[in-house]
Structure 1
């Protein structure tokens, strides 16, 4: 998608479903875009926690980078919005979970797997 850029969206455009994961600032929930039926990951960040942990600059950077980057090995940010309590990042949904969780559960990678993941990081850099 050449020239892709995330846009401001309305939360009412999505049916919010089950939780996919949780983190320091909030959670990620599965959502379905009403107009297309497409599944997305809705990252919900608690504004109060962002402020309390002094992470405002970090979140602004994350939003700026994700909303402007287009790379086949990175999750695409489709849109963003906010309300009184949360910032919302609407992200491409990819089933399978995070590499961190995979590594934690597996313990260690064998050589072919390690080469596969390392090559993708190297290609990106």
Structure 2
């Protein structure tokens, strides 16, 4: 697949990105330096995406998931031994939007299958 990789950084500059946040410059064609810290970056990142894919993660991953969930975006969740998927299942089950979001959330242990199904959801939402 052809395309470009755009990174959205919590830092306000390349120097802060590397020195303070200890984030890489590799593997990105363009980096947007937000200066908003992680919580502001997570909001911009999630709101600018057509869908969100979640793997193993910590608090920032949960934050990105909840933004996508509240914005009713398609969400792919990679299942595995890390436990993030189980935590997210519990959050979804206890939410007030579980029924509304049931067709927009995909769980899979196979990364290729997960991405394929998320792309299908995006195409369906965009009428393609």
Instruction: Classify the TM-score, shorter chain.
Output: under 0.3
Relative CO higher for 1 or 2, CA cutoff 8 Å, sep ≥ 6? 1
TM-score, normalized by length of structure 1? 0.26
TM-score, normalized by length of structure 2? 0.25
The structure with the greater share of residues assigned to strand is 1
